[in-house]
Amino acid sequence: MNDLLNQIQLVGEWLTSSAQWHGDDGIPHRLAEHLTYSGLSLLFATVIGLAFGLLVGHTGRGAFAVATVANLARAIPTFGLVVLVVTLAGLSTAPVLVALVALAVPPILINTFEGVRGVDPDARDAAKGMGMTGWEVLLKVEVPMALPLILLGLRVAAIQVVATATVAAYPGLGGLGRYIVDGLSRNDYQLVIGGSAVVVALALVVQAVFTALRRAVVSPGLRPAAAKS
Amino acid sequence: MRDGEPLIRWVWIGDHVGELAHYTGVHLRLGLLPVLFGLIISVPLGMLCHRYRWVYPPTLTAANVLYSIPSLALFMIFVRYTGLTERTVMIPLTLYTLSVLIPNVVDGLASVPDPVRQAATAMGFSTVRRVVQVELPIAVPVVVAGVRVAAVSSISLVAVGQLIGQGGLGYYITRGLQLDFPTPIITATVLIMLLALVTDALLVLAQRLLTPWARGKGAKA
């Protein structure tokens, strides 16, 4: 217990020292870097994953390919991929972004696909019977009903991207992982634990954002409690 | 990468077969023991959540929050208590498995048809015996689906542990970066993927052996 208080005190000291809030190694700059890598790669991955997921889910063609890609992708060690990309392409942001996108696409793709695929066929038939076109069925029926799974995919992708962007500090990229990697190499425990605290805080914010998003955009008719009553 | 360096120097792999085998063993231990521990925690916890539904949402939220914390940060938090040991890698990996395993245990138990449960009770099964001999076996396919996801992600995450010196095959990833030499990085990355895929295939096989009654149905579907 005492030790936990010590750790919290260490983190507190680190966070409040003014050096942490200025310059290239300050928290605002590192956080901005981290959010840039994560945000950009998540954006690209969302565009790709949603487009293919909706296409395959709606048409039902290529389902096997999607499942295979998702399975293989889960087995890729993110750390190995990022380090490999830096070794082959040199230390710059673009190749690492490509690696992050590659990691974030599969969870979005497979969940979007499963979500659209799992839409009640009766609902789809009813929509067609009402005279909706293919696009209308997709956008007004399938997407809203698949939304909980689509958001789950986005959340898993976001968590993975934020975590991998942290690890990307090891081969020399910026972002919040820098504190942990630099602290380890300098044997500076305060830097390590301070950096970890900021990373944990960011992860919790990401988690909270997705919980709030789910509440805000998922149709009330799809919430588990409402469905049962 | 140095000019003229090939992507893979096959000779290097040939020279390091013994060492690679050793690190592969370490990697499997670091990746799979957490899944076993996770299962030992998740089965009773999932049964509890199944029986008392109000326990489930907070448990699931806690597991999801733990899962969202990047591995590198979680390793560092445990370094203080367990040092630069294998435990520091295995404890966070165990915690990560919970967010997949607990919901799958709960869903698996929920997939037991009510008539089956009632039949077991009518045959005079005690609650404990009913859970162990009837409900858990029926839940196996759903639980194994969770174990597959947990095992594959656990095996690929082990490599990050190399930043505290315990990463199994991750050793070759950092080594390759330090030497600016892609062969070990590619070898280790491919080996880790293979380990994950072979483990996944073995789990599918294990499921078939554990649920012989589902085989006929599975073949038809």
In order of their start, the domains of chain A are 2-228 (1.10.3720.10)
Quote the pLDDT of residue B170: 94
Q: What residues of chain B lie within 8 A of the CB of A207, using their CB? A: 64-65, 68
Query: Sign of torsion, CA B18 B21 B25 B30?
Result: positive
Q: Is residue B10 part of a domain?
A: no
| From A78, A79, A204, residue closest to B65, measured CB to CB | A204
- pTM over 0.90, yes/no: no
- Tell me: the pLDDT tens digits for B159-218? 999 999 899 999 999 999 999 899 999 999 999 999 999 999 999 999 888 888 876 654
Token readout for A75 is: 């087995």
Tokens 């970890």 appear where?
A: A196
Are B196 and A86 an interchain contact pair (Cβ–Cβ within 8 Å)? no
Token readout for A87 is: 């070794």
Q: Is residue B219 part of a domain?
A: no
Task: Count up the domains in chain B and report the number.
Answer: 1
Are A167 and B189 an interchain contact pair (Cβ–Cβ within 8 Å)? no
Closest-CA distance, A193 to chain B, in angstroms, reads 7
Instruction: Answer for the pair A147, A210: CB distance below 8 angstroms, yes or no.
Output: no
Are B70 and A203 an interchain contact pair (Cβ–Cβ within 8 Å)? yes
The answer for B 81-120 residues in CB contact with A (under 8 A) is 81
Q: What is the largest CA-CA distance in chain B?
A: 76
Please give the Cα distance from B72 to A41 (Å, whole number).
20
Q: Is residue B5 part of a domain?
A: no
Quote the pLDDT of residue A227: 38
User: Where are the strands (E) in A102-174, listed by range?
Assistant: none
Quote the pLDDT of residue A226: 38
Tell whether A79 lies on the interface with B, counting CB pairs under 8 A: yes
B148-185 burial by CB neighbour count: b if 16+ within 10 A, else e? Answer: bbbbbbbbbbbbbbbbbebbbbbbbbbebbeeebbbbb
- Tell me: the pLDDT tens digits for B117-155? 999 999 999 888 998 889 999 999 899 999 999 999 999
| From B159, B177, B200, residue closest to A77, measured CB to CB | B159
CA–CA distances in Å: residue B68 to residues A48, B30, B53, B96: 23, 20, 24, 9
Quote the pLDDT of residue B211: 85
Closest CA to A106 of A145, A76, A142: A76
Closest-CA distance, B171 to chain A, in angstroms, reads 10
Residues near B70 by beta carbon (within 8 Å), at least 6 away in sequence: A162, A163, A166, A167, A199, A200, A203
Instruction: Answer for the pair A76, B189: CB distance below 8 angstroms, yes or no.
Output: yes
Closest-CA distance, B68 to chain A, in angstroms, reads 6
For residue B64, the enclosing domain spans: 15-211
CATH label of the domain that carries residue B167: 1.10.3720.10
Closest CA to A93 of A203, A182, A172: A172
Q: Is residue B167 part of a domain?
A: yes
pLDDT (tens, 9 = 90+) of chain A, 229 residues, equals: 677 788 888 888 888 887 778 777 888 899 999 999 999 999 999 999 999 999 998 888 888 888 888 878 888 888 999 999 998 888 888 888 988 998 899 999 999 998 998 888 888 889 988 988 888 888 888 888 899 899 999 999 999 899 999 988 988 888 899 999 999 889 888 888 889 999 999 989 998 999 899 888 887 777 654 333 3
Q: Is residue B4 part of a domain?
A: no
Please give the Cα distance from B33 to B44 (Å, whole number).
18
Q: Is residue B218 part of a domain?
A: no
Q: Is residue B2 part of a domain?
A: no
CA–CA distances in Å: residue A62 to residues A34, A49, A65, A87: 35, 14, 5, 34
The answer for B 192-211 residues in CB contact with A (under 8 A) is 192-193, 196-197, 200
Residues near B8 by beta carbon (within 8 Å), at least 6 away in sequence: B182, B183, B186, B187
Quote the pLDDT of residue B210: 87
Quote the pLDDT of residue A224: 59
Q: Is residue B146 part of a domain?
A: yes
ipTM of the complex: 0.86
